[in-house]
Amino acid sequence: MIIVDDQLSAAVLSERRSFPDDVATTWAFHFRLLRALHDPRGGGQLTQASADGLLPIAAKPPPELLMVLDPRTTTDQAAAFAIADRLNLLTAQLLAAATHHGATVALSDGNVGRSWPALFEDHGIALEVIT
């Protein structure tokens, strides 16, 4: 499994980008994607298609393209990471999901937190940065 961020989730749903494994995203990245589409500064500025057309697919992505991981499975682990590594919800949930599923994390280069490469390495999580 490969866990992707919100930007790569959009790229996967465009079918312009694919990965050689099952692709999933976390609840928090999914929330960011939907929030961007609801925000007039985000989805409202699209020229190719209206955010209204994208929202139904973004809200319930075809699982063969993109699965949204149920956060309840890893809530306890995420909470533990949040305390041990002083992480916010987004980061703790991502780390817990990758650990639980033994997944690779793929992030767009603008979405790599300053401390994340070292953090993921410490936890044995493979990180792929997509430019």
Q: Rounded to the nearest 5 degrees, what angle is found at the Cα of 86, between the Cα atoms of 36 and 2? A: 55
Query: Would you give the end-to-end CA distance of the chain in angstroms?
Result: 20
Contact (CB, 8 A) for 21 and 66: no
Total of residues contacting another protein (CB under 8 A): 63
Across-strand partners of 2?
A: 23, 104
x/- string (CB under 8 A) for another protein, residues 75-104?
-------------xxxx-----x--xx---
Token duo for residue 25 = 């995203």
- Encode 102-115 in three state secondary structure: CCEEEEEHHHCCCC
Tell whether residue 118 is a contact of another protein (CB under 8 A). Answer: no
Tell whether residue 54 is a contact of another protein (CB under 8 A). Answer: yes
Tell whether residue 117 is a contact of another protein (CB under 8 A). Answer: no
CB of 90 to another protein, least distance (A): 5
Tell whether residue 63 is a contact of another protein (CB under 8 A). Answer: yes
Across-strand partners of 12?
A: none
- Site for another protein, rule CB under 8 A: 1, 6-8, 10-11, 13-17, 22, 24, 28, 31-32, 35-37, 39, 41-43, 45-51, 53-60, 62-63, 65, 67-74, 88-91, 97, 100-101, 108, 110-115
